[in-house]
Amino acid sequence: MLVQQHTIKTPVTMTGVGLHTGVQTTMTFKPAPENYGIRFRRVDVGGTPEIPADVDHVIGVERGTTIGIGDVRIHTVEHVLAAIVGLQVDNVIIELDNIEPPIADGSSKPFVDMILESGVQEQEAPKDYLIIDQTIRYQNEEKGVEIVALPTDDFRVTVLIDYHNPALGSQHTGLFNLEKEFITEFAPSRTFCFLHEVEMLRDKGLIRGGNLDNAIVIVDRDLSEGELKKLAHKLGIDHALILGTTGVLNEKRLHFKNEPARHKLVDLIGDLALIGAPLKAQILAARPGHASNIEFARKVRKLYQQKKLVKKYMHVKKEGVIFDVNAIARILPHRYPFLLVDKIIDFQLDERVVGVKNVTFNEPFFQGHFPDQPVMPGVLIVEAMAQVGGILMLNGLENPGNKLVYFMSINNVKFRRPVVPGDQLVLDVQMVSRRSKFIQIRGQAFVDGNLVAEGDFSAAIVDREDNQAKAGNHTDSYQLSTTSKNPSSK
């Protein structure tokens, strides 16, 4: 697999009809600088807004993947994205003057040809691979879908499809070498649907640009001559439809015996591009579809964001430690004697964080609480949970150094037993809910596996320049520091 990032050399353009919307679109691929990523640009909209190709901008998955920002959207991006990933291009601008890329022949090959015509240019920055080092699994038992990512040192994909439809049966395929196989063995595979779906899809406002030149229709029902003519008229097809004997409408010749399975693999690669990073992983997918692909991509992207954050703040990797005290000092503004977290041992982005506080006899608060029988003040145990919670909340944000967390309320606090010198506090904080800028978390503190304190926290995340009044009545605030120098907090 390639080591350096790549873009294309020169702009290249295509014009055609969109599969689902039927609109005429001119699409241009343009070179982009290092670390720019893949972005779609609507040149027909004021301000030429850009939509990053990531799962955070996915707004629809019905028979295709739609991305959007505000009222601006782009339908059916998966074939274009598959071509870009298949040729290992990292940075590119995709300009469109309408809401859907051309469908061309229903495969990724026309977009592959565009990139090859332009040429691929190596850049100086290294690729930012997401190396899968743990099993990631998505399941939908109701639909029989399962997608798994396993550790490996390259990129492989295996797909099984089974629609419980005898006209197609069960098919499988696998890609084991992106550079050698994608262009010739997978990019030419075309989109498909079943004959019984065609009228329903058209009635739902889809496949308005679909025809027998850009899609395979698998015959899974009998239609009379009159019904075929009616269907052709509804689809705007001016030639006769023939059921034939090959199992494909109008006896259209397949490029591969298992072309539907290969196209599903192409769709999966295109949807996985929305993770936002090239993968080193083995992907196993049973009965994938756009909805399941995107849900799986969300899980993998969360791991990618988490790894980026750990890499940003943890300069020296330590066994069993996610963030050491030096990394914590880069994240939180607190300092002696008020930094009450020594290390983070578990961190799941936007879900859970576990911190450790080693309670020693040298803690300054023991001098007065109490000299003859030292006990850690309960309010400081709550403060330690809040500091761990600050790490959980702020690290999931874009530009976290520009944000403040205001704790608005602390409820249901209970202290189960005293914490004394020699104890090790394990602080487990979990996300309860997140709505826009308002968050609820639950914290628990343990010593030797026994619960010693717990509480519920509500907080608001605001921009640093916002007035404190926007957060209401708060108990404390935390700012994520971008450096370890001159930390500040309101």
Q: What is the pLDDT of residues 60-109, one digit of tens each?
A: 999 999 999 999 999 999 999 999 999 999 999 999 999 999 999 999 99
State the catalytic residue, choosing from 6, 75, 263, 290. 290
Q: Spell out the per-residue pLDDT of the chain, length 490, in tens.
A: 899 999 999 999 999 999 999 999 999 999 999 999 999 999 999 999 999 999 999 999 999 999 999 999 999 999 999 999 999 999 999 999 999 999 999 999 999 999 999 999 999 999 999 999 999 999 999 999 999 999 999 999 999 999 888 889 999 999 999 999 999 999 999 999 999 999 899 989 999 999 999 999 999 999 998 989 988 888 888 888 999 889 999 999 999 999 999 999 999 999 999 999 999 999 999 999 999 999 999 999 999 999 988 988 888 888 999 999 999 998 888 899 999 999 999 999 889 999 999 999 999 999 999 988 999 999 999 999 999 998 887 655 555 666 677 889 999 999 999 999 999 999 999 999 988 788 999 999 999 999 999 999 999 888 766 544 444 444 455 555 433 333 333 2
Coil/strand/helix, residue 389: helix
Asked if 369 is an active-site residue, the reply is yes
Examine residue 446 and say whether the peptide bond preceding it is cis (omega within 30 degrees of 0).
no
Cα distance between residue 96 and residue 18, in whole Å: 11
How many angstroms from the chain centroid is the CA of residue 27?
25
Asked if 474 is an active-site residue, the reply is no
Q: SS3 string of 33-102?
A: CCCCCEEEEECCCCCCCEEECCHHHEEECCCCCEEEECCEEECCCHHHHHHHHHCCCCEEEEEECCCCCC
Coil/strand/helix, residue 169: coil
Question: Do residues 145 and 139 make contact, with C-beta atoms less than 8 angstroms apart?
Answer: yes
pLDDT of the residue at 475: 47
For tokens 């602390």, what's the residue?
A: 410
pLDDT of the residue at 96: 98
Cα distance between residue 95 and residue 50, in whole Å: 9
Cα distance between residue 327 and residue 313, in whole Å: 5
Q: SS3 string of 96-159?
A: ECCCCCCCCCCCCHHHHHHHHHHCEEEEEEECCCEECCCCEEEEECCCCEEEEEECCCCEEEEE
Nearest 10 degrees: Cα torsion 282, 287, 290, 294: -40
pLDDT of the residue at 478: 57
pLDDT of the residue at 53: 98
Domains with residue ranges and CATH for the chain: 4-125 (3.30.230.20), 136-307 (3.30.1700.10), 314-479 (3.10.129.10)
Angle between the 259-272 and 290-313 helix axes, to the nearest 10 degrees? 30
